[in-house]
Amino acid sequence: MLRQLRLHKANASTAIACFALTCLALASGCSRESAKDANAVQVQLNWYPESEHGGLYQALAQNSYQDAGLEVSIQPGGRATPVGPELELGRAQFAVANADDVMIFRAQGLDVVAVMAAMQNHPRCIIARKDSGVESFEDLGGKTFQRQAGRAFVEFLRAKHYLDDVQEVPYHGSIASMVADPNIVIQGYSCAEPLLAQQQGIEVNTLMVSELGFNPYSSVLVTTGKLIRENPERIQKFVTATREGWKEYLTDSKLGNEAILSVNEQGMTPEALQFGAEVMRELAMPAGAPIDSVGTMTDERWKTLYDQLVELNVIEADKVTAKDCYTLEFLK
């Protein structure tokens, strides 16, 4: 009986010890998992990986994120990537968008906030063959314009009457129609389509929409107001590392371009990325701006964009304010 009692006590002590060790192991595992989750960052791109995302891939390739204690993964986008909803649902902590998209997201009720802008001038342009006779926006009359319907820059061009005598048709992400027909002009980015046309033996004129006065920030890094409130330290680490990535990419894009090529499955070439990186330098540092200015934003630029989008009826004034759309807190 005494032996059985001692055995029972021994078994009970062993069970308690095992239970304690199990709890300790679970707590330790949860702690490690929580620490991992706190440092994990998912970034959603607004398009396939290209030069306009170069700073992110540069930071990834040169271990800037790792050195900041962050575990970063980048999710490529595409033609219909739901950037705003991905942030709102928490499937991504950061994303890349244009400044006008940020305001539209906010007006739709999404908690999206811009924290830095890599491109001071927007690469949006209209591309026409040199033999089309189109040398300025005033020459678009009588042409067929391939564009994405409803985009803010299209509404701006329409409001300025540049599209009065233009036939508008959907844009399908290709220069093929313009290559085949000089009467077709297409929307594009100055860092991509002009080179694609040149590679097919077509000389083009590039009409920059920014020169007309509609110039939203581009390659804008966005997050959510919720994350800003709950974890500003993680945002500061990510913004700082991303700015460093952009500075390095705009100085020497080799590492970033190699990283992009390793994940881009849409026929991207080293020549196209090099061309894009060179154009990016001009867009990120216009008029010889210093490298340390990369990523900056101003209240004035956001207010100007807000006024334009309200005037174009792209957003409603009572749905959002300019101040809701961005913060300069992480750029100091």
Q: Name the residue range of residue 142's domain.
A: 124-212
Place of tokens 């590679």: 199
Per-residue pLDDT at 23 exceeds 70: no
230/203 same-domain check = no
Do residue 178 and residue 49 come from a single domain? no
pLDDT value at 25 more than 80: no
Residues 323 and 224 in one domain: yes
- Give the span between the Cα atoms of 292 and 76, in whole angstroms: 27
pTM: 0.88
Band (106; pLDDT cuts 50, 70, 90): very high
Q: What is the mean pLDDT of the chain?
A: 90
135 vs 1, more confident: 135
Return the sign of the alpha-carbon dihedral for residues 169, 219, 102, 214.
negative
% residues pLDDT > 90 (the chain): 85
Cβ–Cβ under 8 Å, residues 268 and 260:
yes
Q: Given this model, what pLDDT does residue 267 score? A: 85
Q: Compute CA distances 118 → 53, 55, 64, 75, whole Å.
A: 9, 8, 17, 18
Query: How far apart (Å, rounded) are the C-alpha atoms in residues 79 and 67?
Result: 33
Q: 146: domain CATH number?
A: 3.40.190.10
User: In the predicted model, what is the mean pLDDT of residues 183-188?
Assistant: 98
pLDDT value at 268 more than 60 = yes
Cα separation of the two ends of the chain: 76
Q: For residue 10, what pLDDT band results from cuts at 50, 70 and 90?
A: very low
- Do 99 and 220 meet the contact criterion of CB atoms below 8 Å apart? yes
**Torsion (CA) 323, 302, 108, 43 in degrees, nearest 10:** -100
Average pLDDT score over residue span 228-234: 97
Domain count, the chain: 2
- Examine the domain organization and report whether 288 and 311 are in the same domain: yes
Within 13 Å of residue 162, how many CA atoms lie on the same side as its CB? 19
Q: CA-to-CA distance for 64 and 284, rounded, in angstroms?
A: 20
